[in-house]
Amino acid sequence: MSHAHTQLPDDERIKSRSRLREALIRPELGGIVGTIVVFALFAVFAFDSGMFKSQGIMNWSQVSAQFMIIAVGACLLMIAGEFDLSVGSMIGFSGMMIAMFSVTLGWPVWLAILVTFVLALAIGALNGFIVVRTGLPSFIVTLASLFILRGFTIYFPQTIERKTIIGGVSEVAQGDWLAAVFGGKILTGLFTWLGNAGLIATFDRGLRKGQPVVDGVPMLIVWALVLVVIGHIVLTRTRFGNWIFASGGDAQAARYAGVPVNRVKISMFMFTAFCATVFATCQVMEFGSAGADRGLLKEFEAIIAVVIGGALLTGGYGSVIGAALGALIFGVVQQGLFFAGVESSLFRVFLGVILLCAVILNTYVRRLITGER
């Protein structure tokens, strides 16, 4: 086939483009440029602050990984043409459910996690179902779930336990196989070796004297990378990925072409709920407690990361790798400002300005290379 292909005369409907240009025209290019700029800036202004030592790297990596997990879900949903504003509330809700099932009701932790995932997927499906059935903007529908879920997250522990933070998850999660998948650490041997070799910082005192301060890669980061890779492959290499683009580009045209738009959208709502629950589970397993205020405003942070990463708010265009880079930029900027010693009351001003710059740069780069108006 490919042999026959090359022998065809040039088709006048296909514009020829150079290889370099082909390689550059990607939604994630802006994200790549932004990442380089951000790292260069902090390397200049915060190099001596510990930001690029093992502890500092782990700090912004974890924050970025958190953003990445919810950004992957938000990105695919946005490409499919919808929003989910209930991500933050879903994080609080899922975390609380895991804590209540395992601590208050005394279920084994793996069961608590599995039931919570089923519950979250059901809520995601309900969100999607309401959106496709009523034709209402997803903005409004998920805004309602934002309030409903947050309300339950405060109500349940408040009525049952008389408090809004449920602790003690670490104790019951001890030795649980599924808890380790979310809260464990890998490569601990490597880090111990690095610590012994004096390559990374170790504790100076206490029971853990001599052990490395950073003793492994948390599963949070592994989850983020796995979700990014899977999301990227599904979006760019599968038929389902094409359906996602088609549903967000022009839903009606996609329907005529036989794309099951409703099913695609509902499954994307379920996927954002899944990502939010992964976030929540990692958080609960790491910190050992669930609180009613967890995940506040995270839905906007997810959307910001996705937009920095080059996706269009209107749907039909974007990339998972771009969203991941957007999450990295957001995380590095947020933590980097602390390292650079920026006055704390001006912190949000800086954050806002830098994020705006990142999006403008990104849009500019994209227009430059795609020739879009």
Partner 1 sequence: MTSLMKHLALAAVVAAAPLMAATTASAEGEKYILVSHAPDSDSWWNTIKNGLALAGKQMDVQVEYRNPPTGDLADMARIIEQAAASHPTGIITTLADYDVLSGPIRNAVDSGIDVVIINSGTPQQARDLGALMYVGQPEYDAGLAAGQRAKADGVKSFLCVNHYISSPSSTERCQGFADGLGVELGNQMIDSGQDPSEIKNKVLAYLSANPDTDAVLTLGPTSADPTIQALEENGMAGDIYFGTFDLGEEIVKAIKAGIINWGIDQQPFLQAYLPVVVMTNYHRYGVLPGNNINSGPGFVTADGLEMVEKFAGEYR
Helices (H), the chain: 2-7, 19-24, 29-45, 54-79, 87-99, 109-134, 138-161, 169-173, 177-183, 188-196, 219-237, 239-249, 251-256, 261-287, 298-308, 320-339, 347-370
Nearer to partner 1 among residue 267 and residue 335 (C-beta): 335
DSSP annotation string for 272-284:
HHHHHHHHHHHHH
> Which distant-in-sequence residues (6+ apart) come within 8 Å of 202 by Cβ?
195, 209, 210, 211, 212, 213
Q: From the CB of 36, what's the least distance to partner 1, in Å? A: 20
Question: Hey, which residues between 278 and 337 contact partner 1 (CB under 8 A)?
Answer: 283, 286-289, 291-297, 335
Q: From the CB of 236, what's the least distance to partner 1, in Å? A: 32
The verdict on 24 binding partner 1 (CB under 8 A) reads: no
Q: From the CB of 293, what's the least distance to partner 1, in Å? A: 4
Contact map string, positions 85 to 124, toward partner 1, x by CB under 8 A = ----------------------------------------
Contact map string, positions 202 to 241, toward partner 1, x by CB under 8 A = -xxxxxxx---x----------------------------
Q: From the CB of 275, what's the least distance to partner 1, in Å? A: 16
Stretch that binds partner 1, among 8-16, 139-147, 155-163, 246-254 (CB under 8 A): 155-163
The verdict on 37 binding partner 1 (CB under 8 A) reads: no
Question: Hey, which residues between 161 and 200 contact partner 1 (CB under 8 A)?
Answer: 162-165, 167-170
Q: From the CB of 295, what's the least distance to partner 1, in Å? A: 7
Strand, helix or coil at 202? strand
Stretch that binds partner 1, among 16-24, 58-66, 115-123, 140-148 (CB under 8 A): 58-66
Phi, psi of 271 (to 5 degrees): -70, -40
Candidates 211, 264, 262, 218; CA nearest to 238 is: 264
The verdict on 348 binding partner 1 (CB under 8 A) reads: yes
For residue 152, the one-letter residue type is F
SS (H, E, C) 101-127: HHHHCCCCHHHHHHHHHHHHHHHHHHH
Q: From the CB of 129, what's the least distance to partner 1, in Å? A: 30
C-alpha Rg value of the chain to the nearest Å: 22
Nearer to partner 1 among residue 74 and residue 200 (C-beta): 200
CB 254 within 8 A of CB 261: yes
- Burial of 320 by CB count in 10 Å (0-12 exposed, 13-18 middle, 19+ buried)? buried
Q: From the CB of 160, what's the least distance to partner 1, in Å? A: 14
Among 154, 225, 357, 369, binds partner 1 (CB under 8 A): 154
Contact residues toward partner 1 (CB under 8 A) are: 45, 48-51, 53, 55-56, 58-59, 62-63, 154, 158, 162-165, 167-170, 201, 203-209, 213, 283, 286-289, 291-297, 335, 338-344, 347-348
